[in-house]
Amino acid sequence: MKHSMFRNYLYKKEIYEEWTMGGEKSAKRAANRLLRKQRMEEEAEAARILQEKKDQKYMRAALKQAQKAASIGEVPIGCVIVYRDQIIGRGYNRRNTDKSTLSHAEITAIRKASKKLQDWRLEECTLYVTLEPCQMCAGAIVQARVERVVMGCMNLKAGCGGSVLNILEMQEFNHQVKVTRGVLEEECSKILSDFFKQLRLHNKVEKYMNN
């Protein structure tokens, strides 16, 4: 609100100046120009808000996947891939359950999305993941030419979407990914810390029972 009031004040001032300098006609032209500018700005703002809402909606879907991981005792990380406003691939961490390092949430989602599109290129796709991807998953995202990645919380010790490395945006590779960070950051972080808190408690109880 404050921003638009300030903009209106600037616009009025510009039209007034045009009037004093070049007369009524000139002021009218300036008013039209500024009106068009204002409309474009408002449209961009509306699109931004819409995208923000969409991002939150799909991150919530990724969080749902993370909960699936937690429910089978795996570190809760979830991922969905969206193509033309439709989820075409879901995945959650199953590394210990599947006994495979390839069962990270992102890899599973990429496999499913490729199967759905019948293409190894996921060119118009956006990937939503609750935690910053590791070196393998970030690499797979670039290799699959995913257009955009939206992350929940960061992984300062091992993440490769900006923390330890930034594989996603490296100019040296033949593809760069657009990156948005911090969508539903608190929820994404909380599900992890809750999991580890419970794990520590579980281990303590087990130790106590064994003594």
Q: What is the DSSP string of 90-152?
A: EEE--HHHHT-GGGSHHHHHHHHHHHHHTSS--TTEEEEEEE---HHHHHHHHHTT-SEEEEE
**Residue 106 bears catalytic tag:** yes
Annotated active-site residue in 43, 106, 169, 206: 106
Encoded one letter per residue, x for contact with a copy of itself by CB under 8 A and - for no contact, window 182-201 reads --------------------
* Rounded Cα gap, residues 187 and 84, in angstroms: 25
Minimum CB separation of residue 22 from a copy of itself in Å reads 57
DSSP H or E run through 199: helix 185-210
Minimum CB separation of residue 52 from a copy of itself in Å reads 29
* Rounded Cα gap, residues 144 and 136, in angstroms: 12
Is 148 near a copy of itself (CB under 8 A)? no
Is 177 near a copy of itself (CB under 8 A)? no
Minimum CB separation of residue 97 from a copy of itself in Å reads 10
Q: Do residues 78 and 66 lie in contact, with contact meaning Cβ atoms separated by under 8 Å?
A: yes
* CB of 107 or CB of 188, closer to a copy of itself: 107
Is 165 near a copy of itself (CB under 8 A)? yes
Q: Identify the bridge partners of residue 151 per DSSP, sorted by sequence position.
A: 129
User: Which of residues 96, 193, 198, 203 is near a copy of itself by CB under 8 A?
Assistant: 96
User: Which of residues 27, 62, 109, 110 is near a copy of itself by CB under 8 A?
Assistant: 110
Among 191, 205, 201, which residue's Cα sits nearest to residue 71? 191
Q: What is the DSSP letter of 173?
A: S
Minimum CB separation of residue 83 from a copy of itself in Å reads 15
Q: Under the rule (CB under 8 A), what is the footprint of a copy of itself?
A: 95-96, 98-104, 107, 110-111, 114-115, 118-122, 134-140, 142-144, 158, 160, 164-165, 167, 170, 172-174
Q: Which residues are catalytic?
A: 106
